[in-house]
Structure 1
């Protein structure tokens, strides 16, 4: 059976709630592999005022595929004031500032539930949250999809450089906000940063070929032994 955009592979899926330090309840989902996970993706979604949520397609497809294909746990959640099919998180959009408590709540959940090796995977607005608020000792590294570097400043990049954890930016060739050449200049101040330009891609990564590139690059950094990711699975799986 070919893995298609709508394919959902086996995982142990659980609706979860996160409690923030400022008293809000956020809704989310944890998808676990059938055996012990080797690492955890903590997913930070795109801008909620422009439709971003925990079900934004790259994050949803990561949760549908990577527990089965790469033994990764995938934690997705709606930041404050964000709604999806799972429900609506309490609070109101904080323009990247109040969301510092949301990032902390997700990492606290991962720690309390002994989820191994947390990596932040941010997309667009989510990359800003990762850079600004993700410098937690629990975090092994971050993967940034379509980073705009608007709310996240050079000071945040300098702080990540000092943090010292791996940082990979996947930058679409035709991104609306930051393209590979400029991204390479901006991220040069982070010695451990890697900028990967993706030919033909756009900010929203529409199309199965680009989804597969993104998921492959995530796995390459976190569990390379699981590569290459299969494009087919046995019928009935």
Structure 2
């Protein structure tokens, strides 16, 4: 039997205890994994992360999206700072965002920068181990609650990442939900019931969406959404 392959990873997070916990959880499952896992480095800030990744050339980087240093864009700065860096075995270093945040702007920023996946910190150790393997193999991996949002935001087919509409970037995750329902013809009361929010909150979100997109009516909003295949 040929020996199991080794996947080398770097863990990047600004909380030392979290990095220690992730390492311990993953290594605790190592004996049952279909591959050997080697943690070759850790970092807690943009600059140290870029340095560690360039030095260790791992297969996969577990990357938090909020990090001190750089240009203030956290994990996205790390990915851009490592552009062109190849893993020890050849091929690009792949990044898997691991964050407590499921905010639209965070997901979009790191995927646009080049991350292959995005999972939240509610993920189990077993699921994270599987995600690492899939990303190492070149797959795109997202937490279930983010998958549909990612495909909508990028206007892409499964497994593909398309250029993001800059106008869509301006909307929060909740504004995106309200926008899609209003564009489909839902009344404010129906949107409120669907999203479990008040009618007043719906009105506030609609006003914000129209302002950000520089539209003047729900009819224009419907046309805008149809043009981007968001309905």
Higher strand share: 1
TM-score (norm 1): 0.40
Structure with greater contact order relative to length (CA < 8 Å, sep ≥ 6) = 1
When you count helix as a share of all residues, which structure comes out higher? Answer: 2
Structure index of larger Rg = 2
